[in-house]
Chains A and B, each alone.
Chain A
Amino acid sequence: MSQASLQVEHLTLRRNGVAVLDDVSLHLPAGQTLALIGESGAGKSTLAYAAMGLVRPPEVQLQGRLMVGDVDVVTAPERVLRPLRGVRMGMIFQDASAALNPCFSVLSHLSEPLQRHRGLSKAACKARAIELLASVGIADPVSRLQAYPHELSGGMQQRVMIAMALACEPQLLIADEPTSALDVTIQAQIMALLLDRVRALGASAIFVLHDLALATQVADRVAVMYAGQIVEEGPAAEVLNHPRHPYTQGLRASAIEFDAERLQPIAGVVPPLSAMPGGCRFAPRCALASARCSAEKPELAAHDTVRVACWNL
């Protein structure tokens, strides 16, 4: 189990010469869940895709180490990675209706990983598919096997995708915005299901989320990303309820709650990756920014249980 945790060391990912991920370091202990949060363009999804080995040279240039268990995804060739995807790590995509193939039935979707990785017979695939559908809370799984994606609701499609990702019992589950297309009621069901399944497998999970309150409740740890860098990382409740980095504080003040008086959005916008400021990348939007912030890049430093990259602490 310990081999499935994620260990990222000084990972830099460049696309067309632009650093989409800049010197990212992160450690996810086995059996824990991590939420990646931050605005669009922060690199959350890129980091998640990189961990699956889905963004690779020559499309991008990678430096540093990205260990999933004992395999370094940065250097491992495709023939090593292919048998791992779906087996050691499973992926749940944001838009289930786009991720499922409209021409294939639920049974075909679930059989594919079972045949490829486990070599199961057709009959065994079917039996396992029924088990999997039941495990993700689909009532009457037998009758759903022959359904096509368009015959399922958004929540059902998401459940099928979870069943696919879990088919070979991965030790690391990566979910990119798994509930952003769903109603809050279904979101609660799907997140509870994901956590339940991850715990049942003793697996680790990475959730890319944009809902801060949701992250507080579903993740053990959270990493806040801004413009390709991690700016704050630590236990979820500590980071989100007592944010130390001005960016995390800004996100928190923007988040809606029932008794919100007035939301305080962060001023300005994320600068384009091709024109990143030197020093702290958040400095142009930060109320606390000083001359040092624009000149020197702050490194992640420990503050109690949390790591924060800010000169003003």
Chain B
Amino acid sequence: MKPDTQPLALPVSTARTAPTGSNAPTAHQALPLFSLLDVEKSFPVDGGRRQLRALDGIRLTLQAGESLALVGESGSGKSTLVRVMLGLESATNGRVLYGANEPASFSAAQHRRFAREVAYIYQDARGSLNPRMSVAEVLAEPVRLHALRDEGEIPARVDELLAMVGLPTDVRHKFPSELSGGQVRRVAVARALACEPKVIVADESVAGLDVSVQAQLLNLLRDLQRDHGLAMVFVTHDLGVAAYLCERVAVMYLGRIVETGPTREVLQAPLHPYTQALMNAFPRFDAPLSVSLQGEIPSASNLPKGCRFRSRCVFASEECQQTDPAQMSYSALRQVACLTPLTPLAAVVPA
């Protein structure tokens, strides 16, 4: 299993047109791949008497070739956000745009194109593979479905895909049950690459792996993303993984993005106390383990009044109980939703 990736045959034109109809603004190369405009998603609970607000006012764009990490604890809405982006759930309010169009109003052809351009890597890689299909069949299926190669070229393409993810060609005849956890995840990555996507969306794709195998997979994903101009949305609760893979990070808490910006800047001087707390909880070789957050994330069906983080925030004031902070710009690239954000200076002092 070599961590190095082979030269790969992906079309790298990141400025391809958005999947729109004939009246599409094809000249607009800067049009984001995804635009989320005040997206809300609620689920009815208690037989419809209450609403669980899984997403609340999400504003986010993803540019071509950009890598974005969605970070937060379980229950912060990361996976729901991804499901809404993929069109697996429809937003209760607000708009999700892929290019210039809403997935809900896609024509059949646009839908097929969306399915090819946006590849999803499931959290449970083994569960996402049909146990009765060999690796070669798993990888050939999307190629055939989207008519990306002539039938005769498919075996060569399968070998090419295996080489891209650093798997030996002799796994092509194996079944998922014959592969190790690391190999199964590589197959899942190869399948995502098979449809020559513009965006890869990955949900906790390196969680629960041995460090060495995790490192191999992280290097693979990073190289694929950087060398071939793929955009990537990476869902993780591990800030270290986010820092390693993604240029931009969006920190989520209870259905809101509480801080977003370039990963390096955010981690050097976090603005939101929650970001700081997540960083402090990350085990370090050179600092004692710190219990930075008491309690657990509250239920999204019973949101606290005012700032939703205040029940766990060490800086919470009277004002935080009353006012729900809006997303504010700190710099051109950084936004934070906090009434009293940590200044970069205060951020180096442990909270």
List the interface of chain A (C-beta within 8 A of B).
39-40, 153-156, 180, 183-189, 191-192, 210-214, 216-218, 240-241, 250-251, 253-258, 260, 262-269
Contacts and interface: CB of A to CB of B under 8 A. Distances in A.
Interface in B312-331: none
B210 A263 contact: no
Contact of B289 (A180, A192, A240, A264): A192
Interface stretch (B101-109, B114-122, B138-146, B237-245): B237-245
Nearest to B181: A40
A180 B208 contact: yes
A257 B243 CA distance: 9
B293 A256 contact: no
A192 B74 contact: no
23 contacts: A39-B210, A153-B296, A180-B208, A183-B73, A185-B73, A185-B277, A189-B294, A211-B211, A211-B283, A212-B211, A212-B285, A214-B283, A217-B289, A241-B286, A251-B212, A255-B215, A257-B285, A258-B239, A258-B267, A263-B218, A264-B215, A268-B1, A269-B1
Interface of B: 1-3, 73-74, 180-182, 208, 210-216, 218-219, 237-241, 243-244, 267, 277-294, 296
A264 B187 CA distance: 21
A214 B210 contact: no
B218 A213 contact: no
A98 to B, nearest CB: 14
Contact of B281 (A185, A250, A255): A185
Given A255-B215, A256-B211, 17 more contacts: A39-B213, A184-B237, A185-B281, A186-B296, A188-B289, A188-B290, A192-B291, A213-B283, A214-B283, A254-B212, A256-B218, A257-B284, A257-B285, A258-B243, A263-B244, A265-B213, A269-B180
A180 B209 CA distance: 10
A256 B290 contact: no
A203 to B, nearest CB: 19
Nearest to B71: A184
Contacts of B210: 39-40, 210
A265 B3 contact: yes
A155 B296 CA distance: 8
Contacts of A265: 3, 212-213, 215-216, 219
A268 to B, nearest CB: 7
A263 B219 contact: yes
A280 B215 CA distance: 24
A235 to B, nearest CB: 14
Nearest to A266: B212
Contacts of B279: 258
Contacts of B215: 253-256, 263-265
B126 to A, nearest CB: 14
A260 B240 contact: yes
B104 to A, nearest CB: 32
Given A212-B211, A217-B284, A268-B1, A185 B278 contact: yes
B176 to A, nearest CB: 17
Contacts of A254: 211-212, 214-215
A122 B75 CA distance: 37
A76 B290 CA distance: 41
A211 B284 CA distance: 10
A65 B96 CA distance: 64
B279 to A, nearest CB: 8
Nearest to A37: B211
B1 A210 contact: no
Nearest to A256: B240
B284 A188 contact: no
A182 B272 CA distance: 22
Contacts of B3: 265
Contacts of B282: 184, 258
Contact of B278 (A184, A255, A266): A184
Contacts of B212: 39, 250-251, 254, 265-266
A273 to B, nearest CB: 14
Contacts of A186: 73, 296
A200 to B, nearest CB: 16
Interface centre among A186, A210, A212 (most CB of B within 10 A): A186
B214 A257 contact: no
Contacts of A240: 285
Nearest to B76: A183
Contacts of A183: 73-74, 237
A188 B287 CA distance: 13
A253 to B, nearest CB: 8
Interface centre among B180, B277, B289 (most CB of A within 10 A): B289
Contacts of A189: 291, 293-294
Nearest to A241: B285
A153 B73 CA distance: 12
Contacts of A188: 280-281, 283, 289-293
Contacts of A253: 215
Interface centre among B240, B285, B296 (most CB of A within 10 A): B285
Contacts of A269: 1, 180, 182
A94 B291 CA distance: 21
Nearest to B183: A269
Given A185-B73, A213-B284, A260 B244 contact: yes
Nearest to A40: B210
B1 A185 contact: no
